[in-house]
Amino acid sequence: MPQVSDLTSFQMKVVLLGSGNVATHLAAALKDAGNEILQVWSRNSVNAELLASRLNSSSTAHFSALSPEADIYILAVSDDAIPELAGKFPFRNKLLVHTSGTTDMEALKNASTKIGVLYPLQTFSKSKSLDFAQTPIALEANSPEGLKILEMLVGKISRKVMELNSQQRRALHIAAVFACNFGNHLYTLSKEILRQNSLEFDLIRPLIIETASKVQLIEPEDAQTGPAVRGDYITIDRHLEFLQNDKDLRNLYELFTESIISKHR
């Protein structure tokens, strides 16, 4: 996969369209790296003002009032809002990018002649600050010039910048959903099993860290343990019997067990 590195960053003028988690974290990192956040737009004028004041920026709640002076316009909104807002973008020749893992770059093609994507791969929580240097950022643009601008913009805030096409970016997003969103839900289910038997989630916490730490050094298929990979059908049957009154847990147990057995056959 193509890696981009050692780029000199210049100060750029950025207009931020959005005021959610991604917009907030990204704007702060871009400003810290010396760029100018020219303007913040949000549908909600209070949110726009709030974020703008933290960025020494101006704000607006109207696309018609967007500044035409920026080098790049970053549309950091939820996926379902992208088509509508792209349709209202007023500048045909300004670089417009979205920040979605799952939306094709082409969703912007009627908005401007210069389009792209800037997708930071992380689980953003508003309350928690984030080390952007370790956050992979996937870029895409419809021209070499657009890509160059994106590389210059984020080259200073992340050490893991790469060019990915829309298909690869979607794969990356789905891989993160499996490993992290679904992984976290397994923790929730685990806690529920413990709670129903008067046991505390604290008992499992060290094992969770150990499991995630292991695959930092070795491959996950080599780290697999448990009854399924051992082919221990006595234990599997006892577990399914234990789970007999919870159809969801039983279905997940069966599906995982089959998947582990077929992967390690």
- In the region spanning residues 163 to 182, those forming contacts with its own copies, defined by CB under 8 A, are 164, 167-168, 170-182
| Gap between the Cα atoms of 211 and 220, Å rounded | 9
Closest CA to 101 of 180, 164, 183: 164
Contact set for its own copies, span 34-93 (CB under 8 A): 78-80
- In terms of CB distance, is 65 or 199 closer to its own copies? 199
Using CB under 8 A, pick the residue from 5, 43, 252, 265 that binds its own copies. Answer: 252
Residue pair 140/168 in contact (Cβ under 8 Å)? The answer is: no
Using CB under 8 A, pick the residue from 64, 188, 244, 245 that binds its own copies. Answer: 188
Q: How far is the CB of 231 from its own copies (least distance, A)?
A: 10
Phi-psi region at 78: left, alpha or beta (left = phi > 0; alpha = psi -120 to 50): beta
Using CB under 8 A, pick the residue from 8, 126, 206, 245 that binds its own copies. Answer: 206
Using CB under 8 A, pick the residue from 196, 244, 245, 265 that binds its own copies. Answer: 196
Strands (E), 18-160: 36-41, 58-60, 72-75, 95-98, 115-120, 137-141
Phi, psi dihedrals of residue 116, rounded to the nearest 5°: -170, -175
Phi, psi dihedrals of residue 55, rounded to the nearest 5°: -110, 10
Contacts with 114 (C-beta within 8 Å, 6 or more apart), sequence order: 93, 94, 95, 96, 141, 142, 143, 145, 146
Q: How far is the CB of 229 from its own copies (least distance, A)?
A: 8
Q: Can residue 259 be called a binding residue for its own copies (CB under 8 A)? A: yes
- In terms of CB distance, is 61 or 130 closer to its own copies? 130
Q: How far is the CB of 13 from its own copies (least distance, A)?
A: 30
Q: Can residue 148 be called a binding residue for its own copies (CB under 8 A)? A: no
Q: How far is the CB of 187 from its own copies (least distance, A)?
A: 4
- In terms of CB distance, is 64 or 244 closer to its own copies? 244
The residue to which tokens 């790469």 are assigned? 162
Break the chain down into helix, strand, coil percent, rounded to 5: 50, 15, 35
Beta bridge partners, 178, equal none
Q: Can residue 20 be called a binding residue for its own copies (CB under 8 A)? A: no
- In terms of CB distance, is 6 or 131 closer to its own copies? 131
Using CB under 8 A, pick the residue from 225, 244, 245, 265 that binds its own copies. Answer: 225
Q: How far is the CB of 89 from its own copies (least distance, A)?
A: 20
